[in-house]
Structure 1
Amino acid sequence: MTHIKPNTLSIAGVDPSGGAGIYADLKTFSALGAYGCGVVAALTAQNTQAVTGVHTPPVDFLRLQIDTLFADVRIDAVKLGMLGSADIVATVADRLAHYAARFVVCDPVMVAKSGDHLLAKNAVAMLKEALLPQSFMITPNLPEAGVLLEQRAPETVKEMYRAAERLRELLPLSSERWVLLKGGHLPGDELVDLLFDGDRMVELPAPRIDTKNTHGTGCTLSSAIAALLPQAAGQMRPVEAAVRHAREWLLRAIAASGDLDVGKGHGPVHHFHAIWPKARP
């Protein structure tokens, strides 16, 4: 029997520099053996240093993008990134529910690496009300966890444990749902992420890599997980296996980011580090 590659969809914004958003997601899908599709939920004027403008499509056209794609293409997993407004969040949530989309990985993009806000405040409530119930996994960083929980961001691993538990309470309790709380904002030479399904808490440590090239790491990790979840079936603890694989791949992409020369700010990770020829010393 021929192995069918998964079709993975990114619904997110466009970053012209290619380090984040849909362009980064498509690179990630391709690097990890999935066929990438994209629905544009926002356009940004952005580089590695700043976001200078955001334009969102009419919701009717956003709905048309989603409906036209799902009418023709089998979608095996969905990554959600920058959605921008409450109307866009509500539209995406409605269509994902209509198509009973599987493996929805929601990266609640709220603030860019440059500090620019990417999600309107009134959209946060809609995200919690309409979109999180459709999500198989959410992947907030610590500031995003603080916004979702309406409290200050966790400042220790111990506080991360409680935050992960509370975040899980925002998801449907009657079915399999996961929280990946990313601890990269904590100080120290080692970072810790927490993976929690409401029952088992898994600590995922990793060394901190000394580089400024971290533009789009959140987008890239969530899209890597979306690409790998359909491929992890049959493995022991498939969700944990997909997340571990995605994190290991991302760490190598960050470590190889110096092989690229993109922009003067926070540069992108090297999505094709395992495919392209190695840079000469």
Structure 2
Amino acid sequence: MQVSGRVLIIAGSDSGGGAGIQADIKAVSGLGGYAMTALTALTAQNTQGVTAIHAVPADFIREQIRVVVDDLGVDAIKTGMLHDAAVIDAVVDTLDACARDVPLVVDPVMIAQSGANLLERSAIVALRERLLPRATLLTPNLPEAEALLDRTVSGAAAMEEAAMALSDMTGGSILLKGGHLPGEDLLDVLVHEGIAHSFHHQRIATRHTHGTGCTLASAIATGLAQGLTLDAAVARGRRYLLTAIRTAPGLGGGDGPVNHAHTLAREAVERGAAD
């Protein structure tokens, strides 16, 4: 696979490999991009939960971003876990200094799968006021959208209105993900340049969905880094993720990881057939 598109990922580590920066690297690589990283936190976790977190100092996060961009360059940026206001300020200040015009995909990691809040109130304010206005695309799930809007989003009919409201708030594009809704027909809503687009898919019966938000955001960032339009990057990213969920390896006793490597396996089969 030819490598195309440099993606800088600013996010936390998942020692279980299913989410966080490990999932980001796998998704970028699986789609033929080149992944670079700035770690914001280390976690001890597996498919059943997080047992410990070690935060990375804001100054060291700033330095990771600076040296990577200065030497390797960057075509798109993706942010994930930014755990407090100081980290958000450091990331925004550094990106303003060295990567102001680079497309930015923000996965607002705010609420854990257990429902626990991952950000303090001051960090949510910093996220709204500093990071979100820089985002080319924001990719919240429904609980995150509700936290950002300070209101409930009750059902599919309210999703387009919520996505439009978030776009008005940030000035950028929004991909609102409807996986938390009940039912078998799931909806994602993309608002881009003031126009709403709907994506429908059938719910996949599986518990192996750990890291899907990280994976999708990084897949979209890779498309932007490779010169795809936002619409095309979102459509390809969703296809990549849905196949990764359908072909999940079934690891762990809890919410297991998806199959980030399915594109590489298909390429190997095709190459072998050609040989």
Q: TM-score range by the shorter chain?
A: over 0.9
- Find out whether 1:255 has 2:254 as its counterpart: no
Note if contact 2:26-2:260 (Cα within 8 Å) is conserved in structure 1. yes
Q: Distance in 1 between matches of 2:26 and 2:145?
A: 27
Q: Distance in 1 between matches of 2:141 and 2:93?
A: 25
Q: Distance in 2 between matches of 1:242 and 1:89?
A: 25
Which digits, 9 at most, give the CA deviation of each residue in 1:196-254, with x for residues without a partner? 02421000111110000000000000000000113244xxxx21111011101110000
- Find out whether 1:272 has 2:271 as its counterpart: no
Q: 1:271 to 1:81 in 2, by over 3 A?
A: same
Structure 2 spans left out of the alignment, 5+ residues: 269-275
Q: 1:114 to 1:273 in 2, by over 3 A?
A: farther
Q: Distance in 1 between matches of 2:90 and 2:225?
A: 25
Note if contact 2:3-2:32 (Cα within 8 Å) is conserved in structure 1. no
Q: Distance in 2 between matches of 1:209 and 1:163?
A: 25
Match in the other structure for 2:191: 196
Aligned residues: 265
Match in the other structure for 2:156: 157
- The Cα of 1:40 is off from its aligned counterpart by 0.2
Note if contact 2:3-2:33 (Cα within 8 Å) is conserved in structure 1. no
- The Cα of 1:120 is off from its aligned counterpart by 2.4
**What letter matches 1:225 in structure 2?**
I
- Find out whether 1:207 has 2:202 as its counterpart: yes
- Find the residue that maps to 2:43 and give its secondary structure: strand
- Find the residue that maps to 1:228 and give its secondary structure: helix
- Find the residue that maps to 1:14 and give its secondary structure: coil
Note if contact 1:110-1:144 (Cα within 8 Å) is conserved in structure 2. yes
Task: Please state which structure has a larger fraction of its residues in helix.
Answer: 2
- Find out whether 1:8 has 2:7 as its counterpart: yes
- Find the residue that maps to 1:213 and give its secondary structure: coil
Q: Distance in 2 between matches of 1:248 and 1:64?
A: 35
Note if contact 2:6-2:225 (Cα within 8 Å) is conserved in structure 1. no
Q: Distance in 2 between matches of 1:118 and 1:268?
A: 20
Aligned residue runs from structure 1 range 93-242, under 5 A = 93-99=92-98, 100-152=100-152, 154-172=153-171, 177-233=172-228, 238-242=229-233
- The Cα of 1:106 is off from its aligned counterpart by 0.1
Q: Distance in 1 between matches of 2:147 and 2:170?
A: 16
Q: Distance in 2 between matches of 1:191 and 1:127?
A: 27
Note if contact 2:208-2:250 (Cα within 8 Å) is conserved in structure 1. no
TM-score, normalised with respect to structure 1: 0.90
Note if contact 1:77-1:101 (Cα within 8 Å) is conserved in structure 2. no
Q: 1:197 to 1:261 in 2, by over 3 A?
A: closer
Note if contact 2:13-2:41 (Cα within 8 Å) is conserved in structure 1. yes
Q: Distance in 2 between matches of 1:198 and 1:75?
A: 24
Among all aligned residue pairs of Structure 1 and Structure 2, give the percentage whose two residues are the same amino acid.
45
- Aligned CA RMSD, in angstroms, stands at 1.6
Note if contact 1:78-1:101 (Cα within 8 Å) is conserved in structure 2. no
Structure 1 spans left out of the alignment, 5+ residues: none
- The Cα of 1:158 is off from its aligned counterpart by 1.6
Q: Distance in 2 between matches of 1:37 and 1:57?
A: 17
Q: Distance in 2 between matches of 1:40 and 1:53?
A: 16
Note if contact 1:97-1:134 (Cα within 8 Å) is conserved in structure 2. no
Q: Distance in 1 between matches of 2:191 and 2:110?
A: 22
- Find the residue that maps to 1:169 and give its secondary structure: helix
